[in-house]
Amino acid sequence: MSKAPVALIILDGFAIRDEVFGNAVKAAKKPNFDRYWETYPHNQLKASGEDVGLPDGQMGNSEVGHLNIGAGRIVYQSLTRINISIREGQFYEIPELVEAVKAAKESGKALHLMGLISDGGVHSHYEHLFALLRLAKQYGLEKVYVHGFLDGRDVAPSSGLDFVKKTEEVFGEVGVGRFATISGRYYAMDRDKRWERVQLAYDAMVHGKGAQFDSAVAGIEASYKEEVYDEFVVPFVVTEGGQPVAEIESGDSVVFFNFRPDRAIQLGTALS
């Protein structure tokens, strides 16, 4: 048998679906691909949910797909492992998290929780934030502040308002937590060394600089009126009595609850 080169070509976002409406792949003119499909043996793989180590029904993404292809087996993703740890209780015993909460309690300082507020499951999941709030409540913390980043890429472009409202409901249910700042991920989660973007998020979180609103909801609604949606919402500060609800100060505990590191590095570096 003669040997011939083999190429593995990955087409991100390319999938097989019978439905025609909204199906760019099916509508596209792709004579080469169509010829390969008709001429050569082919099969289909599932690229979401439990088949790639994600929770059932969770959409896949490029990183997840690449990890599973490279490993040649199902790789259970951070999202899945964290979800399981919350469900089974180990999450509330993670030493680093417990240490951060205890340090804030013993020093009388604040606990700041920052990350992407959505259920996209690519960089974060807001259920993980809710678990952190419950952990803080267990230890009797009162000064717990959330610096929320709006998504708009892994979820609908203007879904952030609903995620923030849901989070505020959980604040009430758990009995702890307040929004201190809101930033679009374009600013808070830059990974291309555009430090001027990160600076705006940093200044809001640390120095209370930026537009001021008396609630997270009011700030987001004002941005929507300007047709600036979640990903690109300019960092703003939530105030009470004309003063920032909270600023990150020396000695405070800070937890970044994004589980994917690439878009957490720059802001994390700025704060460290």
Residues annotated as catalytic are 62
| CB distance 40 to 33 below 8 Å | no
User: Nearest-CA neighbor of 114 among 45, 42, 181?
Assistant: 181
Token pair for 269? 């570096």
Residues 6 or more apart in contact with residue 65 via CB below 8 angstroms: 10, 12, 47, 52
Query: How many Å is the Cα radius of gyration of the chain?
Result: 22
Burial 132-168 (b: 16+ CB within 10 A, else e): bbbbbbeeebebbbbbbbbbbbbbeebbbbebbeebb
CA distance 203 to 189: 14
CA distance 36 to 25: 15
Phi, psi of 137 (to 5 degrees): -65, -40
Separation of first and last alpha carbons in the chain: 59
CA distance 7 to 258: 34
| CB distance 116 to 185 below 8 Å | yes
